[in-house]
Amino acid sequence: MARDPPSQSAAFNALPIELNQAIARELDTDQDIARYAFVCRSTNNAVNADKGSFWRAKFREKYAFKEGRSNTELRSIYQVRSKHLRRGVVYPFYRGHNRREVDAILVLKDLIVESFQGSFGIDEFGRPRCKNHTVLRNFVLDSKILLNGRRAPPARNEPDSVHPMLAAVKLMCSHFLFELEDANHQVFALEESQRVVYMATNKAPLYSGPSLSEINMDWVLHCLNFFRDHMMNEAAATLYDAVSELSPMQKPSAWQEPLRNGSYTLGSHWKGTYSFLDVPEITKLRKMSSDEDAEAFFCDKNVDEGKIQLDFVEGAQLRWPNIFEKRLHSLRNTVEPQGRAKPKGEPGSENVQFTGTGVDLEDDFNAIGWLNPLPPQHGIPGWQRITFMKHFMDDFDQVEQDNLWAYEGVVLPGGRIILGRWCRQNDYNGPFILWAVDEPDLEEEEEGEGSSES
Asked if pLDDT for residue 9 goes beyond 70, the answer is: no
Same domain, 47 and 192: no
Task: Say whether both 63 and 94 belong to one domain.
Answer: no
101 and 77 both lie in a single domain: no
Asked, for residue 434, whether it belongs to a domain, the answer is yes
261 in any annotated domain: no
173 plus 205 within the same structural domain: yes
Q: Are residues 298 and 390 in the same domain?
A: yes
Is residue 436 assigned to a domain?
yes
Are both 56 and 144 inside the same structural domain? Answer: no
**Per the domain annotation, does 276 fall within a domain?**
yes
Q: Give the β-pairing of 306-312 and 405-411.
A: unpaired
Q: Please state, rounded to an integer, the average pLDDT across all residues of the chain.
A: 89
Same domain for 187 and 168: yes
Whole-angstrom Cα distance, residue 386 to residue 369?
A: 7
pLDDT in tens, 275-334: 999 999 999 999 987 776 666 789 999 888 899 999 998 877 899 999 999 999 999 888
Same domain assignment for residues 329 and 376: yes
pLDDT exceeds 70 at position 234: yes
Claim to verify: residue 290 and residue 233 sit in the same structural domain: no
Residue 335 has pLDDT above 90, yes or no: no
Mean predicted confidence (pLDDT) in 395-421: 92
How far does Cα 94 stand from its chain's mean position? 18
Q: Is residue 405 part of a domain?
A: yes
- Give a yes or no: residue 378 inside a domain: yes
Q: Give the end of a domain, one of 59, 81, 103.
A: 81
Please give the residue that has the higher pLDDT: either 338 or 266: 266
Same domain for 388 and 370? yes
As for how many domains the chain has, the answer is: 3
β-pairing, 128-129 vs 214-215, is: unpaired
In contact, 216 and 420? CB cutoff 8 Å:
no
Same domain membership, residue 387 and residue 314: yes
pLDDT of residue 422: 98
- Asked if 128 contacts 116 with a C-beta cutoff of 8 angstroms, the reply is yes
CA angle 363, 367, 370 (to 5 degrees): 160
pLDDT of residue 200: 96
Range of the domain at 75: 11-81
Q: What is the pLDDT of residue 313?
A: 86
Claim to verify: residue 314 and residue 405 sit in the same structural domain: yes
Determine the pLDDT at residue 3.
58
* Inside any domain, residue 255: no
Q: What is the pLDDT of residue 343?
A: 52
Beta strand ranges found along 286-424 (DSSP E): 306-312, 352-360, 363-373, 384-391, 405-411, 417-423
Average pLDDT score over residue span 12-30: 84
pTM of the model: 0.90
Out of 30, 64, 81, a domain closes at 81
Can you tell me whether residue 213 is helix, strand or coil?
A: coil
What is the pLDDT, as a whole number, of residue 347? 59
Last residue of a domain, one of 48, 81, 114: 81
Classify residue 259: in a domain, yes or no. no
